[in-house]
Structure 1
Amino acid sequence: MSTLRFDVPASFVVFLVSVPLSLGVAAVAGAPLIAGLIAAVVGGVVAGALGGSRFQVSGAATGLPVVVAGLVDQFGWPATAAITAAAGVLQILFGVGKMGRLALSLSPAVVRGMLAGIGLTIVFGQLHVVLGGTADGEVLVNLGQLPRQLVNPVWGAVLVGAVTVAVMVLWPKVPRGNMIPAPLVAVVAATAVSAVSMTVAIPTVSLPDNPLSGLSLPQIPSGGVAAIGLAVLTVALVASMESVLSAVAIDKMHTGPRADLDRELIGQGAANIVSGALGGFPISGGIARGSTNIAAGARSRASVILQGIWTALFVLLLANVLELIPMAALAGVLIVVGARLVHAGQLRNLKLHGELAVYGATVLGVVAFGLLEGVAIGLAVAMVRALYRLTHTTVHVKQWPDGWRVDVGGSLVFLGVGKLVRALRQIPPGEQVSLRLHIDFMDHAAFEAIDDWRAGYENRGGLVEVDEVHDTFYSRARKGEPGRRKTVLLRTPPFRRWRDWLPEPRKPVVDGALEYERMTAPLVRPFLAELAEQGQRPQQLFITCADSRVLPNLITSTGPGDQFCVRNIGNLVPVHGRSEEDSSVGAAIEFAVDVLAIPTIVVCGHSHCGAMKAVLAGSSEPGSRLHSWLRNATSSLARVDGTDDVERLAVTNVVEQLGNLRTYPSVRLAERQGRLRLVGMYFNLSEARVYLVDPVGCVLVPLQSLESIG
């Protein structure tokens, strides 16, 4: 019943998208158009049945037209079909060898650059078709010939292409337009325009009168073994990478079981063997078809298999309908598809992460030299960047009243030894030097450089103290037990108290700020710069005590922009409308709920609370501001009347303050509408553990229940 209700309609929608895409991909590569349809049929039935992804729809590989075009020029189409089948065998070996997840280790900047390069290649080629010409297999040739094509366009083809592009762009904005796929609407509209208004004939899809007679069976390629092997490897790698990455992307669109990537490679390999044997185009999974399948409501792989069957029936029985489609219409579809592969909006994120050079090198490499060469160039640049990051060392030398301090950060290997030694030699002789190593690795060359400098400096009357912050590479090396791996876990907390590291004379605020500027600011600057532009969108209002031992961001693992925090003595929330109400707390609550639309408010108490001790003992001075403020905990004290248990009072106080929150109209309204949750939390200082507070029994709930907060 589920198949009939959901998968059958979804399969028909995907079929309508798959046919024009398959024809367009084959046209770009200079392959027989029937080859693209064969790939659509085989990809649906074979890869759909055997693959590891339930919703990925396979067909003519959108990432391979440039590669296939080169193979057709070099070997001819029948030999290219044989190369496709051989690539399928290699893909099966990839899957059996559990290599599916290796593709995920590819730098995202390289992947995005590869897709952008493919997109630009498609756009530059298909512009010629929209202008009434034909596309060349070489991108640079297409670019060189484009000005001449612009001067002498075929206006009928231009009109058809323009209609196609306009519909592709505007149709998704039509209310409920997603019920019918944009490529289908665009091709139908462009075909109708061509049929009713064209006085000049323009090229249309051309299929054999008998499609089966147009099958081109594979032939063994003629040429050098190295050239053939490279061709097989290229098709296998690109098709595998496109399929695996698409499967991972499609997994993010549904909540069902994740794709088995190794099985997906085996299914893709089997499909390419069959497609190549029938003279079809190379096959891979595609995000466009898969996302359409999910959006159409598919529930199982039955929709994927059925769309392949619909394609076969359509080609065999209604091929004459396909021949009405103008080539310019297919080109228009592919121009939009290619343009969307560029994703210019990602450039800002790539720049923030220092990956723009990798992206740009990959794009230029794909456009100028080809897909494989472009990816290789991008990987080379990425490896150089990674090597720089892994071996980059920061050295800061500063004079203090009691001597000199040298801070070294990063990975300390032989490539950074020269920089370190030059900095150390700037220190005058006879001084007291604190060498602080904030490093995650030290090789033998770095150890020898530091140890030799230390021995020489101390021989000249100086004193050197080596302080290792994260690991003990230097100390262990002196004992003959050097560390051979990078540090994974910190051996110290993610902070240090002022009294543990500040030199004499101590200036805690100034020196602490300088330490932040030196060590922390470079790490958080990209995040804060983004928040400065976008504004704050915190997910919780965190009301807690002003106790210096309670660090909200530390105990909730939150960072900049995550938490809107209010701290006061005793984590108290004055009842709304009372004369002693502190307006700043009320203002913060209303701002958080009404302006920031925060979905969660947390009231967090803690053990060993001085405010609760004062409430229980009645030790605050009557008439003082503190005494007036602590009156907001009177109801909490009343609930534990007859006990002197401070910790019980602290837990009960959390529950009382949650009740006080509900006296605010904004809070009541948001909670009633399901937009807001109130959560009680408790931090045990001695255990360094966080608990939830059950408001019904005023009891603590173990940490594992924190997952329910969201």
Structure 2
Amino acid sequence: MIRDTQSSVIRTLRYDLPASLVVFLVAVPLSLGIAMASGAPLAAGLISGVVGGIVAGALGGSAVQVSGPAAGLSLVVVDLVHTYGWRATCMITLLAGAVQIVLGLFRAARATLAVSPAVIHGTLAGVGVVIALSQLHVVLGGSPQTSAVANLIELPAQIAAHHDHGFAVGVLTIAVLAIWTRLPKPVRAVPAPLAALLVASVTAWAFGWNVTRVDLSGSFTDWAFPVLPQGDGHRIVVAVLLVALLASVESLLCSVAVDGTHKGPRSDLDTELTGQGVANMVTGALGGVPVAGAIVRSTANVKAGARSRWSAVLHGVWMLVFALGFGWSIQLIPMEALAALLVFIGVQMVNLGHVRKVHGHGEVPVYIVTLIGVVVLGLAEGVVAGLGLAALLALRRLTWVTVNVRPEEDGHYHATISGSLTFLGVPRLTHELRSIPEGASVDLDLNIDFMDNAAFEAIHSWRVDHERMGGHVDIDDIHDEWYAMAASGSRMFPAKTPPRAPDRWWLPWAHRRRRTVRPSLVPQQVGPVEAECQLTAGAREFHRRTAPLVRPIFTELAHKQTPSHLFITCADSRVMPSLITASGPGDLFTVRNIGNLVPRRGGEPHDDSVVAAIEYATQVLGVRTITVCGHSGCGAMAGLLSGGVQAGSLPGLRRWLRHGNHSLARFIDTESDGSDSGPLDRLCRVNVQQQLLNLRTYRRVDEQVKAGELELVGLYFDIGSARVHMLPPLPSTLSVKR
């Protein structure tokens, strides 16, 4: 026990103490700025920073998350202060904390994450725009208007107006923030917000500029307990729930994001939610702004090397010591510098990286609607608009119907309907089915997980009409018998049956869910038997799931194979010819060896295996294409580059790699064209092209190529990006032995 305690103390002193100092330097200017943006006393920001660090850090469920004043809640706080007054706003914060505690005790943390990230990112971006617009007026020497739209309308006149020393301080602050990340690393040890405020404060003092100073006089001595807000009870309840929801979602999303940046224990979200609730009750009682997990401070904490919650707690202690002992120094900061810091933070909240993420999922409209709603209508209205649009898009995706109709060579038509068949998809469904010509024979596959009565009536009516006009329709329910049961009048139960999960046969064994191997099939051994276990389980899975589907194909192929390609590739386990070429049984006649090498005719050491495959493929099977496929990171090519050193004590491998000497010689004689990522990658590509030339050393291959009866193709599989590249053949300068 004593040893564990000593180890914990040493770890705290070594990692968490330095990290806490870094976070403290970041947190002080941010806390002051967010309090200013929230319309609260500046001391309220310091109070929240202290409480967020000590209380939320000690009681929360995240090891490295740092909590403090929440920029995302600043618009709500501004509105609450304007409507109910500051002391009543503190009571709303206190009550919101109580709601968070209840949610945490009932383990509702995961439920609060059921909000579209596009709404969250759009909300933060909208808040950033509003903060930037309002504080830009302060930088320009004016006063913020009552709304973002009004601030935008008044901005041209404010820009054209006369600017004093305060404007110079604001520009200087933004300039320092912009260039700080480009400075040498030792200089960047000082956090950019702190550096910007220090430069602005020192410059204003040195030149005697006339600026507005931060005023903390009486802030800590005029404390009074919060009072209940007066007004419409329903609106007050909504305000409490809004603060609780937004603070919870922001904190939990921050916890999840921070978990991906460190290797320590994962966050307990319910405990984190409870800790945030206690912190908000304390900060509300002491006169602070709402607290939430802060991504900027948390990221700085992780980068500084924090290992435990002590970093967050100590950062709160340093803020408390600073506020009580050195609060006078804050009064040297120009208000215009704080406003410029907020403008910079507001612009950074419009994160283009978030736009790219939501774009990949088709949720940019949700992001834009939320952002515009927050800026034009208000925070609550913007969030509601974003949530509403996200719900509509989700409903649209759930009811989206895919209808694929394609004609077959024999005049038949094959149609596949996928998705959830509801009345919303009937118009599209009817339109696509009626495009099939009258009298045609149709194979209709229903790859669906639900069918309501309207969809059934649409399909059934089309089928009746089509067959009445001389056509024929064969309907196949791939999953449950939705159509057959509806046609027979049976009750559709259950209401929705999820389709069987795909086999995902292409995944490695280690990535698939482990299945129990029956002891009767596998001896109880260790080591090499593990592969046999997996193979046995895989064979059973093939018999159970895949064999019934492919049996008709293999029945046709049982007596004769007619592949169109000879595929020569490496024996590397990461290269799967059928996967990277989307080919099936009977398509490829495959040869695999170390390095995808083709020994030249008459080359040493003598090898007949590849030659036999080439002869059989070209003269018996009549393939039309020979493909040589190499891949990135090939061990055989690495062995060639090392001059055989990496082959070590493998004499057979050293002899085989002699067939790659021509590739190595051509590699030495050529220079990179910029398409490769280094010498090994270039040799892997050159080797494929050289093997195509080696194929031309065989007389029958060369004759068929010249006659246009055979095509030689080079492929290169980049394993890291899972991309297949075509490689152009090199000009043939070989003399073929006859």
Superposition TM-score tier, normalisation by shorter sequence: 0.7 to 0.9
The equivalent residue for 2:578 is: 551
| AA aligned opposite 1:368 | V
The equivalent residue for 1:323 is: 331
Mapped partners of 1:657, 1:371: distance in 2: 70
Deviations 1:174-199, CA, capped at 9 Å, x for gaps: 11133211111111011111111244
Matches within 5 A, 1:223-622: 223-398=231-406, 400=408, 401-427=410-436, 429-469=438-478, 472-478=481-487, 480=490, 482=492, 484-490=496-502, 543-544=570-571, 550-553=577-580, 569-573=591-595
SS of the equivalent of 1:402 reads coil
8 Å Cα contact 1:34-1:215 kept in structure 2:
no
Identity over aligned pairs, percent: 41
1:101 has 2:110 as partner: yes
The equivalent residue for 1:598 is: none
1:46 has 2:55 as partner: yes
The equivalent residue for 1:700 is: none
Counterparts in 2 of 1:239 and 1:553: CA distance versus 1, 3 Å: same
8 Å Cα contact 1:58-1:283 kept in structure 2:
yes
8 Å Cα contact 1:208-1:214 kept in structure 2:
no
Counterparts in 2 of 1:280 and 1:492: CA distance versus 1, 3 Å: closer
SS of the equivalent of 1:569 reads strand
Q: CA deviation at 1:311?
A: 0.8
Q: CA deviation at 1:343?
A: 1.4
1:154 has 2:163 as partner: yes
Mapped partners of 1:37, 1:545: distance in 2: 60
The equivalent residue for 2:719 is: none
1:193 has 2:203 as partner: yes
Mapped partners of 1:349, 1:316: distance in 2: 43
Mapped partners of 1:662, 1:107: distance in 2: 57
Counterparts in 2 of 1:462 and 1:187: CA distance versus 1, 3 Å: same
* Structure 2: stretches of 5+ with no match in the other structure: 1-9, 507-545, 555-561, 563-567, 629-635, 637-650, 669-675, 685-738
Q: CA deviation at 1:222?
A: 0.8
SS of the equivalent of 1:434 reads strand
Mapped partners of 1:378, 1:447: distance in 2: 34
The equivalent residue for 2:192 is: 182
| AA aligned opposite 1:26 | A
Q: CA deviation at 1:349?
A: 4.8
Mapped partners of 1:427, 1:117: distance in 2: 49
Q: CA deviation at 1:354?
A: 2.1
8 Å Cα contact 1:218-1:276 kept in structure 2:
yes
Deviations 1:470-516, CA, capped at 9 Å, x for gaps: 65432354463646223252489899879869xxxxxxx9xxxxxxx
Counterparts in 2 of 1:147 and 1:545: CA distance versus 1, 3 Å: closer
The equivalent residue for 1:642 is: none
Q: CA deviation at 1:172?
A: 1.4
SS of the equivalent of 1:173 reads coil
Deviations 1:589-616, CA, capped at 9 Å, x for gaps: xxxxxxxxxxxxxxxxxxxxx968968x
SS of the equivalent of 2:592 reads coil
Counterparts in 2 of 1:580 and 1:250: CA distance versus 1, 3 Å: farther
Mapped partners of 1:143, 1:620: distance in 2: 74
SS of the equivalent of 1:551 reads helix
Mapped partners of 1:457, 1:577: distance in 2: 60
Counterparts in 2 of 1:458 and 1:18: CA distance versus 1, 3 Å: same
Deviations 1:176-227, CA, capped at 9 Å, x for gaps: 133211111111011111111244x221211025x43132431111112101
SS of the equivalent of 1:439 reads strand
8 Å Cα contact 2:569-2:596 kept in structure 1:
no
Q: CA deviation at 1:433?
A: 2.3
The equivalent residue for 1:513 is: none
8 Å Cα contact 2:60-2:273 kept in structure 1:
yes
More off after superposition, 1-10 vs 568-577: 568-577
Mapped partners of 1:87, 1:363: distance in 2: 24
8 Å Cα contact 1:470-1:490 kept in structure 2:
no
| AA aligned opposite 2:251 | S
Mapped partners of 2:96, 2:315: distance in 1: 24
* Structure 1: stretches of 5+ with no match in the other structure: 502-508, 510-540, 557-565, 583-609, 631-635, 637-651, 679-710
Q: CA deviation at 1:133?
A: 2.3
Q: CA deviation at 1:70?
A: 0.2
User: What is the alpha-carbon root mean square deviation over aligned residues?
Assistant: 4.4
SS of the equivalent of 1:298 reads coil
Q: CA deviation at 1:86?
A: 0.3
Q: CA deviation at 1:135?
A: 2.5
Per the normalisation by structure 1, the TM-score is: 0.72
Q: CA deviation at 1:25?
A: 0.7
Q: CA deviation at 1:34?
A: 0.9
Mapped partners of 1:104, 1:554: distance in 2: 40
Counterparts in 2 of 1:428 and 1:497: CA distance versus 1, 3 Å: same
4+ residue segments displaced more than 6 Å: 491-501, 574-582, 617-621, 652-668, 672-676
SS of the equivalent of 2:593 reads coil
Counterparts in 2 of 1:659 and 1:322: CA distance versus 1, 3 Å: farther
More off after superposition, 256-265 vs 104-113: 104-113
1:34 has 2:40 as partner: no
Per the normalisation by structure 2, the TM-score is: 0.70
